[in-house]
Amino acid sequence: MIKHIVMWKLFDPARADEFKALLDSCKGLVPGMSEFEVATRTEGFEASHDVVLYSVFEDAAALEAYLIHPQHKQVSATLGTLRESRSVLDYQTR
């Protein structure tokens, strides 16, 4: 399994729900995606980012299929205009 975790800091944190809705449109895009959860910062908890994506893929091929999928590319282009920074960590588990 490949876990794909991405965190974003937005120019305007008030747009986090809009950002989340765009990301949620990518759920289930490709075979081999077994988990896909998008969350926004929770008031009262420590956070250095505004939005996080936690997703799990069957293998590296499924992750690559997601990354190159036209819907993902379109959403990514839009999200890029809303974000100040992006952090990502992909890692393999058994």
- CATH code at position 59: 3.30.70.100
pLDDT band per the 50, 70, 90 thresholds, residue 7: very high
Structural domain harbouring 75: 2-92
Q: What is the mean pLDDT of residues 47-66?
A: 98
Q: What is the mean pLDDT of residues 48-76?
A: 98
Mean of per-residue pLDDT scores for the chain? 97
pTM assigned to the model: 0.93
Quote the number of domains for the chain.
1
E strands present in 1-94: 2-10, 33-40, 51-57, 83-92
Q: What is the mean pLDDT of residues 12-36?
A: 97
Contact indicator for 50, 27 with CB cutoff of 8 Å:
no
pLDDT at position 65 over 90: yes
Q: List residues bridging with 87 in a β-sheet.
A: 7
pLDDT at position 30 over 90: yes
